Amino acid sequence: MNITITPGRKIIGRLAKGEDLLVALENCAREHRITLGEVQAIGAVSQARVGYYNQPEHKYYYLDLARPLEILCLIGNISLKDGKPMVHAHIALSDHDGRAFGGHLAEGTLAFACEFAIQEYQSATPLM
């Protein structure tokens, strides 16, 4: 399935130290009433919580990384869930030895410093 979209607004910003990435990005999307879009970010976190989807069990398992990490890449999309903008993002993080960790971004990932960009899209057809 695919649809044609046209770019809308672009919103860039920084998160304050201690802000929860998922909550703050979702609040930003809601504040700007973005119903379809993409999100990306880089920076660093003081701790992270990422999910891994166990496919046979249809269930997320969460990994808590209670240490400072670099955000190598955060990428995700914004769509409507139950009428409200929802962010679905994945994040890649690295430690002081350059080892990488990552997964489905969950609440509990706290910004040390984070710069983000949200690209809004408009679509004649709603995304399923």
Neighbour-count burial of 121, counting CB atoms closer than 10 A to its CB (0-12 exposed, 13-18 middle, 19+ buried): buried
* Smallest separation (angstroms) from Zn ion to the CB of 59: 13
Least distance from Zn ion to the Cβ atom of residue 124, Å: 26
- Stretch binding Zn ion (CB under 5 A), from 27-35, 57-65, 101-109, 112-120: 101-109
Q: Does 49 bind Zn ion (CB under 5 A)?
A: no
Cβ closest to Zn ion, residue 84 vs residue 88: 88
Q: Could you give the angle at the alpha carbon of 108 between the alpha carbons of 48 and 68, nearest 5°?
A: 30
At residue 62, what is the residue type? Y
Which residues from 63-82 bind Zn ion, rule CB under 5 A?
none
Strands (E), the chain: 5-15, 37-54, 59-65, 69-81, 84-94, 100-105, 110-123
- Site size for Zn ion (CB under 5 A): 1
Neighbouring-strand partners of residue 100: 94
Q: Is 104 in the site for Zn ion (CB under 5 A)?
A: yes
Q: Which is nearer to Zn ion, 49 or 104 (CB)?
A: 104
Q: Which range of residues in 13-21, 27-35, 104-112, 116-124 is near Zn ion by CB under 5 A? A: 104-112
- List interacting residues with Zn ion (CB under 5 A): 104
